[in-house]
Chains A and B, each alone.
Chain A
Amino acid sequence: MALMAVKNLEKTYHDEQVATNVLKKVSFEIPEGQFVAIMGPSGSGKSTLLHILGFLDKPTGGEYIFDGKNLEDYNEEEVAHVRNKKLGFIFQSFNLLPRTTVLENVKLPLTYSGVKEELWDEMAKEAIESVGLAHRLDFEPSQLSGGEKQRVAIARALVNKPQVIFADEPTGNLDSKSGELVMDIIQKLNRDRGHTIILITHETYTAEYAERIIRLRDGVIESDEKVKERRTGKAFLK
């Protein structure tokens, strides 16, 4: 069975007068371990879709079944638990806590996880090492380059060993070289560690790191196909 399945998913925003249909009856399935890119121009509904898939928002119609259970059936505590344990997020603008060290930033998801505190340092360090930033443990975000910040964010996303990692325009704020490095790491996470990856991007170049591309336009799926010539990064991950 697919890890994630959406069926006739709808999302309508109600303004004072107008109702905007951002997602119109979207359906697809994502099996565990797949690397999917969701593409589309701005306003296509791709961010809204990611928010729903990532348990950050709720649909106004249709179904979303994650790990065999309908989103509607998760209570508040369980939603927080899923976000913490099963999902990891990488944002375009990094969203690291300012004036807080790399190590502390990466430990953040652990503080809500119920994992014993004695293990936090070890787990966080391991995650930071895997993105090649072991020498930056005590740095604060303001002392890091954009690419390094995003790698810290990746370390934070994978510290709880989630099933799915969501990446929302992860290269959007980076120069092409740092962007490539970040995509290399994300691809490695999928290939070597089996994390399911949902990537949101509007660049074809970036999307081709994935094995499957879902194209959205005006809230409907325009195409859903396998990537024929997949881009592969240099082996980076240790």
Chain B
Amino acid sequence: MSLKHSIKIASGGLKTNKTRSSLTILGIVIGVTAIIMVVSLGQGAENLILGQIQGIGAKTIGIVPGRTPKGPTDVIATLSASLKQRDLDLLSRKENLPHQDGIMPIVFGNETASYEGETYALNIFGGTEMMAEIYDAFPSEGRNLNEDDVRGYADVVILGAKAAKELSPNQSLLGERIKIKGRNFLVIGLLPEKGGSSLFNFDEIAMLPYTTAQSYIFGIKHFNRIVVRADNEANIDKTVEDIKTTLRDAHNITDPSKDDFGIETQADALETVGTILNTLTLFLALVAAISLVVGGIGIMNIMLVSVTERTREIGLRKALGATKKNILTQFLLEATILTGIGGLIGIALGSLLSFLIAFIISTFYGMAWSFTFPWSAAFLGIAVSATVGLIFGIYPAKKAAAKSPIEALRYE
């Protein structure tokens, strides 16, 4: 008997029990919908975050103080004052870092600012004029930091949109003086509103010269981070090695495992975030897959009822010349078609919901969230649901095929 005809017989059997068939596949539909949504939303989140990391610039290398942590609880490793002005000077030299194209130290911390009675807790970033470039945070009003500000320990500040609004709800702060730690700072620039879409909330920051921040606000001599920009993406690895050599020389380190600094590249960050998100997506998809198993058991249950109910039909088919294999194929196909249809509906439903969520996030929250159709998950969904049908259909189908024709015909 041709496969085409087997499918015809099987789908005929399903059509005569439409309500039951559709209730049966509900479990599969929900399972596949969940998988599609988890994978699609996971991909959306990954694209969003990776896009932002790449926005920071693939050519930048971050140097952090302290040794590389040995584990998640090894906090002390990162609390270190090992990066100092001397390191910055050494790294700035072309003979040490030939492929360097800009270098900037960063200090950061929290401090309260006040203006005419309003106060606001700022995220303070001390850096140089390079900060605007690296984090794509150019003032929309006023000016950026410059070399003179840094060299002269200038009391100047650039405020994020929200910080400015909180300190002075009604009038622009540009050209005004705000107080931070008892000192007056001239607001020389205002950042445009960036929204909550970023990894750092730029709306709540204050950027000032690192020299000023070190001396007058934090009272420290070290840096929290040094950012080095390579002249070319191809020279990143080379530059990383140059940095290591320079700093080890400066810190008298011979054993690389005793490094008192760590190096982060964007490639590392991309990889880390990608790994975390993929693991999370996989985990959630597995949870969703459990509902597929539950759905499969539902299918088996209904197929068993169906086999008992159609004992006469099975007997008749056998009396008319159906082989065991014919009956087995018929019932297996019924189960597989059921779950296959369930899988298709689940893919459609899951895609639709993911699309709606992506649409809502991008429209109402202003994030660069895009809908991606998860092809891999769709193929997986179809394959898994059809397999579930096969596996959970085997037992009922075998039971059907094993029925003796006279027993079956006698059955009332």
Chain B residues closer than 8 Å to A77, beta-carbon distance: 323
Is residue B389 contacting chain A, with contact meaning CB distance below 8 A?
no
Is there an interface contact between B322 and A51, defined as CB atoms closer than 8 Å? Answer: no
Name the residue of chain A whose CB is nearest to the CB of B16: A99
| Contact between A56 and B326, CB atoms less than 8 A apart | no
Contacting A at CB under 8 A, from B316-330, are 316-324, 326
Contact status A111-B406, CB under 8 Å: no
> Once the chains bind, are B321 and A85 in contact (CB under 8 Å)?
yes
Which chain A residues border B313 with CB–CB below 8 Å? Answer: 97
B86: shortest Cβ distance to chain A, in Å?
89
Find out whether the CB atom of A109 lies under 8 angstroms from the CB atom of B320.
yes
C-alpha spacing A51/B317, complex, angstroms: 15
Q: How large is the interface on B (under 10, 10 to 19, 20 to 34, 35 or more residues)?
A: 20 to 34
Interface string of A1-14 (1 = CB under 8 A from B): 00000000000000
A80 to B316, CA, bound (A): 12
Q: Whole-angstrom distance from the CB of B398 to the nearest CB of chain A?
A: 15
Give min CB distance, A164 to chain B, whole Å.
13
**Interface assignment of A142: CB less than 8 Å from any CB of chain B:** no
In the complex, whether B7 has a CB less than 8 A from a CB of chain A is no
**Which residues of chain A are near B318, meaning CB under 8 Å?**
56, 80, 83
Q: How many A-B residue pairs have CB under 8 A?
A: 61
Q: Is the CB of A108 within 8 A of B320?
A: yes
Assess whether B319 is in contact with A56, with CB atoms less than 8 Å apart.
yes
- A111 contact from B9, B16, B324, B409, Cβ within 8 A: B9
Chain A residues bordering chain B, tally (CB within 8 A):
27
Check if A108 sits within 8 Å of B317, measured CB to CB: yes
A51 CA to B322 CA, complexed, in Å: 16
Complex contact A56–B405 (CB within 8 A): yes
**Is B2 close to A, CB under 8 A?**
yes
Q: Name A156's contact: one of B320, B406, B409 (CB within 8 Å).
A: B320
Interface of B is mostly: helix
Rounded to whole Å, the gap between the CB of A119 and the closest CB of chain B is 13
1/0 per residue A27-59: CB within 8 Å of B?
000000000000000000000000100101100
The residue among A51, A156, A160 with the most chain B CB atoms within 10 A of its own CB is A51
Q: Give chain A residues whose Cβ lies under 8 Å from the Cβ of B321.
A: 80-81, 83-85, 109, 112-113, 160
Residues of A within 8 A of B324 (CB): 76, 80
**Distance from A92 Cβ to chain B, minimum over Cβ atoms (Å):** 10
Chain B min CB distance to A79 (Å): 9
Chain B residues within an 8 Å CB radius of A112: 1, 317, 320-323, 326
CA distance A186 to B317 in the complex (A): 22
Chain B hits for A83, CB < 8 A: 318-321
CB-based contact B316/A97 at 8 Å: yes
Chain A residues in 8 Å Cβ range of B5: 111, 117
Please, how many angstroms separate the alpha-carbon atoms of A95 and B313 in the complex?
8
Contacts of B2 on A, CB cut-off 8 Å? 117
Inter-chain CA distance A160–B321, complex, in Å, is: 11
Taken together as a complex, chains A and B put the C-alpha atoms of A100 and B312 apart, in Å, by: 15
> Is A209's beta carbon under 8 Å from chain B?
no
A76 to B1, CA, bound (A): 16
Produce 1/0 per residue, A69-102, CB < 8 A to B: 0000000110011011100010100010111100
What string of 1s and 0s marks CB contacts (under 8 Å) between B314-357 and chain A?
Answer: 00111111111010000000000000000000000000000000
Tell me which residues from 297 to 318 in chain B have a Cβ below 8 Å from any Cβ of chain A: 312-313, 316-318
Q: What residues on B are CB-neighbors of A51 within 8 Å?
A: 406
Chain B neighbourhood of A85, CB < 8 A:
321
Q: CB of B55 within 8 A of chain A? A: no
Complex Cα–Cα for A97 and B322 (A): 15
Please report the C-alpha to C-alpha distance between residue A235 and residue B322 in the assembled complex, in whole angstroms.
Answer: 34
Q: Which residue of B lies closest to A89 (CB)?
A: B319
| Cα–Cα, bound, A81→B323 (Å) | 8
Cα–Cα, bound, A114→B409 (Å) = 24
Those of B233-264 within 8 Å (CB) of chain A: none
Q: How far is the CB of B84 from chain A (nearest CB, A)?
A: 87
Smallest CB–CB gap between B379 and chain A, Å?
32
Among A76, A98, A100, point to the contact of B323 (Cβ < 8 A). Answer: A76
Report the bound CA distance from A111 to B323 in whole Å.
Answer: 11
Q: How far is the CA of A109 from the CA of B316 in the complex (A)?
A: 10
Q: Which residues of A have CB within 8 Å of B12?
A: 100
Q: List 5 A-B contacts (CB under 8 A).
A: A83-B318, A84-B321, A95-B312, A97-B313, A108-B317
Please list the residues of chain B having a beta carbon within 8 angstroms of any beta carbon in chain A.
1-2, 5, 9, 12, 16, 312-313, 316-324, 326, 404-406, 409
Beyond contacts A85-B321, A111-B1, A112-B321: 8 other A-B pairs, Cβ-Cβ < 8 A, are: A56-B318, A56-B409, A80-B318, A83-B320, A84-B321, A109-B321, A113-B321, A117-B2
Which 10 A-B residue pairings sit nearest by Cβ, starting from the closest?
A84-B321, A112-B321, A80-B323, A109-B320, A83-B321, A56-B405, A99-B16, A95-B316, A56-B406, A112-B322
